[in-house]
Chain A
């Protein structure tokens, strides 16, 4: 290992939040008896809007049926889980390239959704859709498929009278968090999750701290000429304060 790579590694470690360092260490333990994580919940009040210019590539999207489970399982080996989700009424949008499924995202409008990784129960407000478990084959990850999922969802929501989307991003997944903020999602709450062997503990925290609320209140009193990106910048500042 060279000096340069050592310093690069030390700098990366220094920049990594403590929770993620602890998580990394715990996940190196065989059988992972203890695990910790933080789920950052985000909510979009309204139907997703995707600029047409961003719908690139030639992927086609549609809702999955029970006949697609084998193709979904070819991407992620979770056929029983996929069948159970469809049986519970959850919807799955799939992306097809040359007739082959290359990605998917799941949606639920049931009142409660039990999250798979932590077993956390998520309450879905009436009229809202919970978006979860998106996967796109690595070769197709820069082709705008996630946006096609959102555009398809928006079309369906408009026809079904749905009025918002709920989702969560794992703490530390900054690019995804920022993408959601740019698309108008707002942080609602964070959930600290701890698993010790079979025992699961959750601590819910409001996503916006008192300091951030007073900042928002100040903004309301002194409204700047808000543009989408400025609004997102404010939300990012709020999220940063809340996640500190």
Chain B
């Protein structure tokens, strides 16, 4: 697993599943957070705050969409894209 995806996965499990990703809360990196009951809409905002702080990126309201934030894989891809955009702009 990519280090970034692993890091995000650890954050999700620690903060939203209180460390327990077994049994009914097991999920893969492609599983939808909302469909699998992993993170709700409030949790998504907590995740966004974490991404902004931890990776020093700015996330606009228009970017708060499931395509960017609804699975570990999607978040990892979104984050990599944001980092590329910010380094080009710098």
Contacts and interface: CB of A to CB of B under 8 A. Distances in A.
A173 B42 CA distance: 14
Contacts of B43: 175, 178-179, 182
Contacts of A174: 25, 37
Chain B interface residue count: which class? Answer: 20 to 34
Interface in B36-67: 37-46, 48-49, 52, 61, 64-66
B86 interface: no
Contact of A175 (B19, B40, B66): B40
Contacts of A141: 41
Of listed A54, A178, A179, A240, residue having the most chain B CB within 10 A = A178
Nearest to A183: B42
B23 A15 contact: yes
Interface residues of A, number: 30
B38 A175 contact: yes
A196 interface: no
A57 B17 CA distance: 26
A233 interface: yes
**Main SS class of interface, A:** helix
A56 B45 contact: yes
Contacts of A17: 24
Interface string B3-29: 000000000001111111001111000
Q: Which 10 A-B pairs have the closest CB atoms?
A: A175-B40, A15-B24, A236-B18, A233-B18, A141-B41, A179-B42, A142-B41, A54-B45, A174-B37, A142-B64
Interface of A: 15-17, 51, 53-54, 56-58, 136, 141-144, 146-147, 173-176, 178-179, 181-182, 229, 232-233, 236-237, 240
Given A16-B24, A56-B48, 17 more contacts: A15-B24, A15-B26, A56-B64, A136-B41, A143-B41, A144-B45, A146-B41, A147-B42, A147-B45, A173-B37, A176-B40, A178-B40, A178-B43, A179-B40, A182-B43, A236-B18, A236-B20
17 contacts: A16-B24, A54-B45, A54-B49, A142-B64, A142-B65, A143-B41, A143-B61, A143-B64, A146-B41, A174-B25, A175-B39, A175-B43, A176-B40, A179-B40, A181-B18, A233-B19, A237-B18
